[in-house]
Amino acid sequence: MNKPEMFSPNSQEAKDIAYHMHPYTNPAMLAEQGPMIINKGKGVFVYDSEGKDYIEGLAGLWCASFGFSETELVKAATKQMQELPFYHSFTAKTHNPAINLAEKLIKAAPDGLDKVFFCNSGSEANDTAIKMVWYYHAAIGKPEKRKVISRKRGYHGVTLAASSLTALPYVQQGFSLPLDFAKHTSSPHYFQDAHDGESVDDFVKRCMQDLEDMIAEEGADTIGAFIAEPLMGAGGVILPPKGYFEALQPILKKHDILFIADEVICGFGRTGNMWGSQTYGLKPDILTCAKALSSAYLPISAVLVSNKVADGMAVQAEKLGQFGHGYTYTAHPVPAAVALRTLELMEERDIINYVRKIAPLFQERIKGLGKYDSVGDARGIGLIGAIEFVKEPNSRIKLDPKHKLAARVMKMVQDAGVIIRALPLDGIAFCPPLIISEDEINMMFDRVESVLPEVDKLVKTLD
């Protein structure tokens, strides 16, 4: 990547620095170092402006499940653009892509989910789910049930309501967030949060007691829903400890609290099942999904709801004259057509079984990274995983955050030809396209391992 002093005033890099505000980016660092411009994608690889190839080890942003050159999805978008480039879903209007996608999603959904509302992003889907919770409880005469519980380190998006549920400081600092309806209970991260000598069973019991205590303090009659990712993605690729959701769901039922499963990352094969809810035995009242719904080729998301919730909302809508919520691009026909073709390709190519076939190699290679002194924990399931760095071997002791180790490792790995994600727990995440081959898995981890000895040396020099 060129240095800023090498940029001509009319270069793409100079224009980007001058005019483009980047998400999750330090503006001063961007101005100093310049952007990384990606110009091409093919399979699991992307190519920068200088032609260098990178394995996209995070599928973009946990999303490009079919990689970066799936012609069937391009054809689906082109065909729909020619037939009907836009129409809306307001005032009882619809079109075939929306109808067929809704049917396809519900037939593939976990048991008990019966209706679909379309949005444009995971954040919008979770915002919509919150509004649905409020609307439903108002409809059944419990308008005071407005609080929503999420978990520390959970990630649920960045709109005002969704970022209030996202319990990560970098999403809330500077924005006067969270809003007061959001409450945050314990994270289920056993490696980092368990007490010394605490068993998994005892850790789960403590998490459940924390939740019960919060419900008692806030009042169950004020709590409308609990939201959780089946496994926590951006907060650290945190897998639930054994027995966690089995203990949690009865607590929610006991207190009449709706359960929202945030499947924005976990859905569509990532964990080795169609849904993370199936992998971990969840029975949500509401499920949100996005990202791999269209392999991220076009923006689309969905909220799936049970008949119980849908019927309650319908009563309220009839009383008020309409369901007063929706977006200009709700069920936009072009993203809907691409999403429909994505789900068809999953069936035609038996993607779920393919993930199950190659996941053991992927997980073996992740677990193998635990041999390095700087790696305290290596974990994963299906085609998602992470390693977490520590200051001392075989410990949970962390480096001072000022060292920004994960960000430094991310850059080292990127220079070696793999794009991954730094995690707030001082770790890095892996979430490649579902189409990755065994040879490409080995190539990705070989490139990562080429820098980990240097990471071990670096950690020893940091106080």
**Can you list the domains of the chain with their CATH numbers?**
36-69+351-461 (3.90.1150.10), 72-348 (3.40.640.10)
Residue ranges, the chain, pLDDT below 50: 1-2
**What is the pairing mode between strands 418-419 and 53-56?**
parallel
HSE, side-chain direction, 13 A CA sphere, residue 9: 0
Res 6: pLDDT: 67
pTM for this one?
0.96
Can you read off the two tokens belonging to residue 301? 């998301």
Res 1: pLDDT: 47
